[in-house]
Structure 1
Amino acid sequence: MIITGDDSEYIAFVKARLRDQFLMTDLGPLRYFLGIEVSSTSDGFYISQEKYIQDLLARATLGDERTVETPMELNVKLQPTNGDPLPDPTHYHHLVGSLVYLVVTRPDISYPVHILSQFVSAPSTVHYSHLLRVLRYLRGTITRRLIFSCSSSLQLQCYSDATWASDPSDSRSLFAYCVFLGGSLIAGKTNKQTTVSHSSVEAELRPMALLTAEVTWLRWLLADFGVSITTPTLVLSDSKGAISVARDPVKHELTKNIGVDAFYTRA
């Protein structure tokens, strides 16, 4: 059990009551939990998975000490038919599963992990080579951490983007969004859309609607914590067409097929 808060006297009271009812040990301030390392300084909280990455690299047995600058090459379009099938995909499954958990503190690998996880049912030699590239990237960036600053403002700011028809196997679009509380990343997602978008505007507008729902929930959650946000939350996108439709979803009859997302984002 993890007890958090800024009232030390009440925390001591809660722990005393718990000890009266249960057999428990006070392990002190949080340092390590489920592979996630937590450190507290005067600047804020840092979370990382450095030891987890070290263990993962040891299990991967790369066979060399090379590192790379990026987790995936630019403009790579992987398909199920690339390369020869792996005779035993168990190792691929294990490594991809470990990387999925690592995304908790390393959002910089979320895109390649999303791509590679699509081939776990039938991975090939090509998919495995790109998986090793992600591991070599982690080796060179093993000390990177997420920070939750004590001086960060309590204002939400969000970013949304999508690549239209980017998957060559089914023409579905890939989207991503992230949410910052001040300068701290608190939420994010990378996924493939469930249906094919007819235009880049539609592809961009769908994640904007999902992000709007996420922000609505986060504002309610912060209000429950006593953090009242009275100003509008910025949702930033680089699609002029999607922004235009979100502002005025009845401007053109061709937007009827995405009108629900447009109205929801605008509400």
Structure 2
Amino acid sequence: MVRVRVVRHSGLRRRALGRRVLWGGGEALVTVGVVLLLLVVHQMWWTNREAREGAEREVRALERAWDGGGDARTAAEAPTASSPTTTSTPATSSTRTPDRSSGAAAPAPDWSQAYAILTIPRLHLRVPVAEGVSRNGVLNKGYVGHYPGTQQPGQAGNFALAGHRNTHGEPFRYLDRLAPRDTVRVETRSATYTYAVDKVLPQTTARDGSVIRAVPRSTVRPGHGYRTPGYYLTLTTCTPEYTSKYRLVVWGKLVSMRPR
């Protein structure tokens, strides 16, 4: 006697539906994975490439303008010595240290443009400096931003800057590699100011605003900073990498000024 196997259609439908669900779920996971990968590539690679190219173009535009061969509106200078955030400027000598007794006025800047170039030889870095530390207006362009209310290059007080550590050109990616006596140059239309790295604060909170005061000093990490007036440079960025929880701070002192 031959037995005939009875196949229930409801069971077949359930199994087919299960396979479709598994297949659809797998396709959805693959799609999500591809989208996330593209987002990472865009954030970590494309924004860096785009910002770096834009920053390099701006550096070249500033150099052409300062040499008299470019659009003068891209060569905005720092605020005048009589502005509210200004005290005095050092002597215009390439070999002398700052002299508080002298000063010189400079044209008012166009804040929509970069007005200086920051060069850090140890990091092989050369980027434009613009006013403000907004993400879209300055930092996401691959620029370094000047903290409003702090001094300008070469002026008594604190010339304070911020830059991205990751993405959008990440100019301060390797800021933690700087050590005492490394040099940092700031070029403007009228002069080149050279600072020497003096101190490094590896980590402080994002609310530690005292690190960019005229006499910079951390209120979160006592013992880090200065107590007397001087000609200071402050560089800040996020730390650890790929986070914005804390801030890394590098301080320097002005050692020379050379007219262009």
**TM range, normalised to the smaller chain?**
under 0.3
> Normalized per residue, which structure has more strand?
2
Q: Which is bigger in relative contact order (C-alpha 8 A, separation at least 6)?
A: 2
Q: Which has the greater radius of gyration?
A: 2
> Normalized per residue, which structure has more helix?
1
TM-score, normalised relative to structure 1: 0.25
